[in-house]
Structure 1
């Protein structure tokens, strides 16, 4: 798995710098990788990105509550929100630092920050000292924007952080 991950990182790095908008000349590696992934038009798939290795995979219909019926996830190769951030962080860190869990599992591996930097993760839901119940995550790009896999029928894209309800905070690995 490490060898495949290293090859994937090398390929992404070769093309990522050409994909980053001109306003981000010194963007963190995670942000450069995210822009490369966004340029591929990868579709949302509930549960996608949670195979043994990070990256696009077929999703699952277990727990699916999306708008498109019947559930297309089991036949759609793509990423859900936590699958997207897991893959970006795996490529940026050279190993699967977030693991195959969901947003609740991922936020527990990070620390909350009050001043976000590009490359931090932005979580939505409710996070207290006693419980974590999140429902969405995106990669913070700066200027109030995030890249995310938002919903069934969409592709990985850039959205305003304020577009989603239940902002829970910015987190750093």
Structure 2
């Protein structure tokens, strides 16, 4: 190998080694994931029914249908997001419009199509879906590597969790 090419090869190898150890960069991921990371950093609390006001975003929740462990139900006095309120807000910010609407996880999954190969930014649903019935109980935003950002439960904040933490995985869905 000539002496001229050797420094160039060394420079390429140094750059490859350096960039291989660079931490995960959310700025190169889809807009949905970047927005979800930004919201996760805010420490927004979970509120049953939160995020379902006329406009997407944190709102006071409701105790109607609440089955959480914390008693009395704190949702009506808590400004926050539930799982579908969180995904609704992120998708609205990313798409520039309220594409999921104010419904719950069952309503949202009906607006999407199931995909076999997930990409960061897809939604991850949990529950049971058959040809005759849709009954979901949780949704998060897929990050890759078996992880999602979600608003998990009363007493928690929007956070990153392994997908396997929630029972009844249904699949990955995309608009």
Same fold flag (TM > 0.5): yes
Is 1:51 aligned with 2:73?
no
Is 1:86 aligned with 2:114?
no
Find the structure with the greater CA-based Rg: 2
Q: 1:23 Cα deviation (Å)? A: 3.7
Name the CA distance, whole Å, in 1 between partners of 2:165 and 2:38. Answer: 23
Tell me, what secondary structure is at the counterpart of 2:28? Answer: coil
Pairwise CA RMSD of aligned residues? 0.9
Q: 1:24 Cα deviation (Å)? A: 3.6
Tell me, what secondary structure is at the counterpart of 1:74? Answer: helix
Name the CA distance, whole Å, in 1 between partners of 2:56 and 2:124. Answer: 19
Q: Structure 1 runs of 4+ off > 3 angstroms? A: 21-25
2:10 aligns to what?
none
* TM-score normalised over the length of structure 2: 0.86
1:41 aligns to what?
43
The Cα offsets for residues 39-90 of structure 1, whole Å up to 9 and x where unpaired, read as 0000000000000000000000000000100000000000000000000000
2:6 aligns to what?
none
2:111 aligns to what?
109
1:8 aligns to what?
none
1:133 aligns to what?
135
Structure 2 unaligned residues grouped into runs of 5+: 1-22
Q: 1:129 Cα deviation (Å)? A: 1.4
Q: 1:25 Cα deviation (Å)? A: 4.3
Tell me, what secondary structure is at the counterpart of 1:170? Answer: strand
| Aligned pair partner of 1:62 in 48, 55, 64 | 64
Tell me, what secondary structure is at the counterpart of 2:140? Answer: strand
The count of aligned residue pairs is 153
* TM-score normalised over the length of structure 1: 0.87
1:76 aligns to what?
78
Aligned 8 A contact 2:26 2:33 in 1? no
Structure 1 unaligned residues grouped into runs of 5+: 1-20
1:16 aligns to what?
none
Name the CA distance, whole Å, in 2 between partners of 1:23 and 1:84. Answer: 22
2:168 aligns to what?
166
